[in-house]
Every structure is written in C-alpha cells, then in structure tokens.
Structure 1
Amino acid sequence: MPGLSRRRLLGAALAGAAGPRAWGAELELHKRFIDDQPATPQVHASTLVELPDGSLMAAWFGGTAERAPDVRIWCSRLRAGAWSAPRAIADGVQPDGSPLPTWNPVLFQASAARGGTLLLFYKVGPDPRQWWGELISSDDGGDHWSPPRRLPDGVLGPIRSKPLMLADGTLLCPSSTEDEAGRWRLHMERSRDMGQSWLPNVPVADPKGYGLIQPSLVVRPDGSVLAFARSRANRIAVTRSRDGGRSWSAAALTSLPNPNAGIEALGLADGRILMVFNPREQGNDWWVGRDRLDLALSGDGGHTWRTVATLEDEPGQEFSYPAAIQTRDGLVHLTYTYQRSHIRHVQLDPRRLG
C-alpha cells in the first residue's frame, strides 16, 4: 500500500508483572503515519473506527499545544490504501466567539440495524476538571456532520475509549471525572437511543483509592463486560459488570504495570483480550514511562497476561493514548500518539501474535 512501511519486531513469548522475560518469533507489523504532513504543531488522543464500506476513519485533537484555545478535532479517512489529508470537523468556539480547546474525540459507528449513524463524542473546556461533553453525527460516513450538541450536565460521553453497543441496544460509554480536589473516579454512561437521552450514571467503587480514569471496555463471551482503567497505583485496574453495565464490581489491580497513562483493551473475535499499554512505572514527571508501548494478550479473561510485542521503545520520547479495533477481515488496527507530532497507524494480523 502507498506510504506503508514494513517493520519486523520481536514478540515476547513470556511476560510477568516485571515485563518480558524471553523473546520468541518475529512479528511482522505494518506501520505508517496518518498525517505525514501534520496540519498542526501537536496532535494527541486518536480514535479509530471501521465504516460500513470497509474504509477506516481516525480522529484526534490537534493545535498549538494541548489546552491551547486553537485545539480542534481533526479526522482522516483511509481509502484505497491512503490516508486523506487531515481536516478539522469540530472546535470549541463559543456562541460569543471566544475559543476553548477541544479534547479526546471518540468515534462510534452504529450498525445498519441501529440506524447506521456515525457518532463523534468529544470534550470542550479549559481543562479536564471543567470540560463538558459534545456530540456530532454523520449519516454519510463522515463527509458531512451535524451541528454540535452539548450533552446534559453530568454526562461527558465516552471519556477516551470507544463505547459498546450491547445486545439489548444500550450504548455503554466508559467515562470518568477529574475534580478540582484531585479525585479521579470511574463511572459508566448509558443511552438507549444513540445518545439522544441518557440513563442515570453508574459509579464504579474504588474502595482502596487507586484513582481511576479513562476505562476501556471488553465484552466477554458470557455477556459480561470488563472495564480496564489507568490508575495512580502503577498498575492497570479492572472492574466487571454482569448485568449490562447497571452495576460494577469494586475495582482491583491487574498484574500489568502502567505509568498512569492511557490504555486500550480490545476483545478479539477468538475470545482473547489484547491490551495496548505503556508498561513502565511513572517517574517524577507525568510523561515518564510513556516512552515504551507494548502489546499483551490474555487468553483467560484478563486474569493472566503475556507481552507479545513492543511497538515503540525510545527513551525520553512519548508514544501514548492508543486506540484499537478489529475489522471485519480479522485484522487489528491501532493508532496512537507519536511524540505529540504525528498519529501513527499500525496494522497487524492477531493470528501472528501467538
């Protein structure tokens, strides 16, 4: 495919909480930048979706720098092997003309049975403690978008990772809050009409005070839902719902290390769970530990994990905020922030992960 590079990376055969212990067969990955010529000085927090025609769409926020009032939501579409030039589709300009930054877009493509609408959730506000949720939609694969609609007070939409459409038609959105007192809390938001109205939020208990945000959801074969989240405890946390997201177990820590950075969990068609995450512990500064990005697999519902690949490993750089989907052809596609200057796209065959 034009512009597509091929790179061989070693897959780790075994891993524990401390990281890879042995290396196995080579894993072939396809890697490229979505934005070879970025439209903005900085980019971050990508999201990814497969559209009905089999093409992909990615979105992210970009501008002078995170929190700058010129930060807008940008998107690009992968057609015939090439990503389109980025274009801005949402901003934080207020009715009085004053600009506010936008944050953390999340794409969701409804099935034809659910209307086939493409949704884009995002946040607007000066910072994560004061932002609110907004929503736009498209009925033509993202070529045209509706005017933005502010979500009700207390509803932020999916905070960073993709929502799930449950079997009963409930759109389950993984969300969280960061308040002025520094408290981080998980909650789940639910809508039965594609975001037109919302049921009461469902909080997730954090009795040990791990400090949790930005959950990522996985549906299990038995219909239960797992939510994995970043924490302030240098480990990825997990909680489970067995009733369609109406209640959740108290959060517990997994064995996976993480420096309080964004993660993505993906339930594969074969029943395994793929985790894309930064595997180092946090240092004195928030970005320390985001200079390595790994893939790990669990074949037992998230109880045990083994690291199967290192996507990036460059001391002092940032590779963060991954998104992941499995497309109808069985391939896995990932996007993530590459040194805040680009969004990188990775394509792989999960059968090669072992």
Structure 2
Amino acid sequence: MSNQTKSNMLVDGKLKQAANDSERIEAYLTSNCVQNHASNLLPLDNGDLLCVWFAGTQEGISDISIYLSRLNKGEKEWSKAVKVSDDSTRSEQNPILFNAPDGKLWLLYTAQKSGNQDTAIVRYRVSEDNGYSWGPIETLFDKPGTFIRQPIVVLNNGEWLLPVFYCYTSPGQKWTGDKDISAVKISNDQGKTWEEYEVPHSVGCVHMNIEKLEDGTLLALFRSRWADHIYSSTSTDNGRTWSEPIPTQLPNNNSSIQFTKLNNGHLALVFNNMNAENCTERRLSLYDEIEDEEDSSVKASIEGNVEDEKSEGEGRAAFWGAPRAPMTIAISEDNGKTWPYMKNLEVGDGYAMTNNSKDKLNREYSYPTIKQTPDGKIHVAFTYFRQSIKYVSVSEEWVKA
C-alpha cells in the first residue's frame, strides 16, 4: 500500500467531501478489529442510516462477530461501532438488516464453524428501538449450510421474501463453493414460519438479490461462483417459481453485488466490473489460508476436486482470486436490460489472493451495499482492503455525468 493510500484512509467515521469532487461525500468506518468486511446499509424511517458488517481477525475464524454503526439524521460522523452478536465458537458473518412493517428492526446473520460454510446456520435478533438495544439471539434456520447476504423484500401482498443460498459438499470433501444453489424463503406470518422455493438450475448462482419492478415482476441478480457474469432470473408469481438464471452482459468475479430500485423506478447496481478472463492466478478456496488441524487435508481435497473436474469434464470448479476492483456503480432505466451509465467509485489492482488483513496485503474493494433515501441521495458502502468499510454518498446525476 502506498503512503498516499495510507494518508487518504483516515478511519474516523467523519463525513468529508471527496478530493476534487464536491458532489461526493465519503467516510471510513471501522470496528477497531483487524478485518472488516461484508457491510449492509439500511435507512430508517426517522432519517438515521445504519450499517452492519462482520469484523475480527479473519473471515472464518471464531472471533469474527457482527458490528453496527449509525449515522444519525443531520450529523456528520458515524457512531463508534458496537458488537451485536455473541458466539465465541462460530464465525458470525453476512449480516443484513430488515425494517419490518410493524416497526421492529431485525438483524439476521450467519454463524459457521471455522471456514466451513456448509456448517452455517442463520440467527437473528429483534430491536424495538431502532437498534439501540436488542432482544435475545435466536436461530431462524438451523439447516447446516444455509447462507444469506441480501435483504428481505416485502411483497405487494404483505409476505416477506428472504433469498438464501445453500453451501453443499460431496461426502468426505471440503466446501469449495462448486455446488452452491439458491432458493427463497417466504413467510406470510411476519417471520414465524417460512416456506421454501428453490431456483431451478442455479448451481453456482449465489447472493440472490431481489427487487420488485413497477409491473410486479421480481427481478433477481446473482453472484457467479464461476467468475464469469452476473446472472439474472425473474418471477411473476410472488417468488414461487423462478426462471433459470441466465448470464447478463455484466461481468462478475465471484464476489458480491447489490442493486436497489431508486425512487424514480430506475435501478442502481454496485459491482466489481471484472471477471476471471485473463486471470493468471487462482486461489484454492475462500478459506485456504486458515490453518487448523485439517489444513493439509483441506488443500489436498480442494486440489483434487479441481483436477478431477478438469480431467473428467463434468461439473465446474468455483474460481477464487479474481481481482476485486474496480468498484463500479451503474444505472439502468429499463428494468435491468441495459446499464448504459457507469462510473467507478474506486480504482485499483483489486488484489484478492489473500484474506489476511493482519499483514495488510489485501487490496480488494468488495461486497458493496446500496440504498437510496427519500431525499434522492444514493448511499453506498463496501469493503476497503478488508481493513475498513468505506461509505460513499452520491446522486444519480453524479453517476450519469
């Protein structure tokens, strides 16, 4: 990391005008942990803006917990992050916030053993005071391998729809992401019970992100384990059946994306405008650095999986290690068919061959989240070098300029 980059990243939570850009506001958030990753934003009805993410030593380690920071309405500084999960035996990851119609605030997140995503379960807490205090930690889904990343959608009929993905493995093998699939959970009783509907032929399509279009159609966009393209799917029956995911023209690098419907009906997407084409390096998996009693067998298993797939020609191997940069925001005016307006929020080499934040080698911009508030401001947050969460505020006009 250059000295210029170091000096520019003042992690104090204070809003500042970006250098040479009066239309862009920025801030850096942190938990005072070594690693900070996978943020999600939520505007509250009172004008506050919340941000949650996970932090600790390193993704997959049991000291990873969920943290929350708040930007109070009218203020110029994000609050000090507070820890809002509590399990010293599991890595707690991928938090999302949901402002239920009854005014209660939900926090949902995953909890897994070590780097084994196929052991993940989904937990939740509920707040009745906009996140200042929280009720007990409870389990929402206990099926091992259940993962979340994207927000709950309230359908026009009042039902709640939560996209999930399942991390599956073959018997005796370590999770690598090759067999992950997507589904949706739907509740008609405010989260007490859920029905599940699988997305057909969705192997490799994860982080399903859903928005309601003006005509009632549900549009889903997916991260691709194959690091080729963003994929899309639609539903016209309130999420019960989905079209088979198909690749869009937008690239994906096997890293998270997020999009939102703007106040005027346009769509805004944040993503890494990059895929695995021409990548010469490849990681074994997301967690190949985690050293434990299984480390040698883990790597052997993963390497075996990749070689078997190459030799047999059956199945596909998840691609890990593609650069996670630039961080790009795009606008669509035709329900996601085309994205003619694009602008980079961050540019760099996106080095993502390591998740180790202690040595500060990672240079990724990743796992973006995007929301718009009634005043028209577009709020974005994303992982900055896995050391902090960067917050950026712009307008649709800024993107199109």
TM class by shorter chain equals 0.7 to 0.9
Report what 1:271 is aligned to.
265
> Is 1:254 paired with 2:248?
yes
- Paired AA for residue 28 in structure 2: F
Residues 1-354 of structure 1: pairs in structure 2 closer than 5 A = 3-7=14-18, 28-35=23-30, 38-79=31-72, 80-93=75-88, 99-110=89-100, 114-126=101-113, 127-154=116-143, 159-181=148-170, 182-199=178-195, 201-206=196-201, 211-231=204-224, 232-282=226-276, 283=279, 284-285=282-283, 286-315=320-349, 316=351, 317-354=363-400
- Paired AA for residue 302 in structure 1: G
Q: Which has the higher helix share?
A: 2
- Paired AA for residue 51 in structure 1: L
Q: Distance in 2 between matches of 1:52 and 1:155?
A: 35
Change (3 A) 1:102 1:347: same
Tell me, yes or no, if the aligned pair for 1:233 and 1:260 is still in contact at 8 Å.
yes
Q: Distance in 2 between matches of 1:243 and 1:258?
A: 28
Give the aligned length.
Answer: 324
Aligned-residue offset at 1:128: 1.5
Aligned-residue offset at 1:8: 6.3
- Paired AA for residue 256 in structure 2: G
Q: Distance in 1 between matches of 2:86 and 2:383?
A: 20
Corresponding residue SS for 2:96: strand
Change (3 A) 1:156 1:212: same
Q: Distance in 2 between matches of 1:156 and 1:67?
A: 14
Aligned-residue offset at 1:52: 2.2
Report what 1:19 is aligned to.
none
Aligned-residue offset at 1:180: 1.4
Larger Rg: 2
List per-residue Cα deviations over 1:253-273 (Å, max 9, x = no partner). 100011111000111111211
List per-residue Cα deviations over 1:239-297 (Å, max 9, x = no partner). 00111111111111100011111000111111211110011112323233203111111
Q: Distance in 1 between matches of 2:181 and 2:194?
A: 19
Report what 2:294 is aligned to.
none
- Paired AA for residue 97 in structure 2: L
Of 165-174 and 285-294, the range deviating more from structure 2: 285-294
Change (3 A) 1:157 1:266: farther
Tell me, yes or no, if the aligned pair for 2:17 and 2:26 is still in contact at 8 Å.
yes
Tell me, yes or no, if the aligned pair for 1:123 and 1:156 is still in contact at 8 Å.
no
Tell me, yes or no, if the aligned pair for 2:54 and 2:93 is still in contact at 8 Å.
yes
List per-residue Cα deviations over 1:13-69 (Å, max 9, x = no partner). xxxxxxxxxxxxx8932111122xx42100111111111211011111100111111
Normalised by the size of structure 1, how large is the TM-score? 0.87
Q: Distance in 1 between matches of 2:390 and 2:190?
A: 29
List per-residue Cα deviations over 1:270-325 (Å, max 9, x = no partner). 12111100111123232332031111111111111124210111113200001111
Tell me, yes or no, if the aligned pair for 1:27 and 1:309 is still in contact at 8 Å.
no
Corresponding residue SS for 1:351: helix
- Paired AA for residue 124 in structure 1: A
Tell me, yes or no, if the aligned pair for 2:217 and 2:236 is still in contact at 8 Å.
yes
Q: Distance in 2 between matches of 1:100 and 1:334?
A: 28
Normalised by the size of structure 2, how large is the TM-score? 0.77
Tell me, yes or no, if the aligned pair for 1:122 and 1:157 is still in contact at 8 Å.
no
Report what 1:21 is aligned to.
none
Corresponding residue SS for 1:151: strand
Q: Distance in 2 between matches of 1:235 and 1:64?
A: 31
Of 156-165 and 179-188, the range deviating more from structure 2: 156-165
Of 277-286 and 330-339, the range deviating more from structure 2: 277-286
Q: Distance in 1 between matches of 2:263 and 2:106?
A: 23
Aligned-residue offset at 1:352: 3.0
Q: Distance in 2 between matches of 1:130 and 1:307?
A: 40
Identity in percent: 31
List per-residue Cα deviations over 1:228-249 (Å, max 9, x = no partner). 0011151000000111111111
Corresponding residue SS for 2:398: helix
Change (3 A) 1:348 1:157: farther
Q: Distance in 2 between matches of 1:205 and 1:258?
A: 20
Mark the runs of 5 or more structure 1 residues left unpaired by the alignment.
10-25, 94-98
Mark the runs of 5 or more structure 2 residues left unpaired by the alignment.
1-12, 171-177, 284-319, 352-362
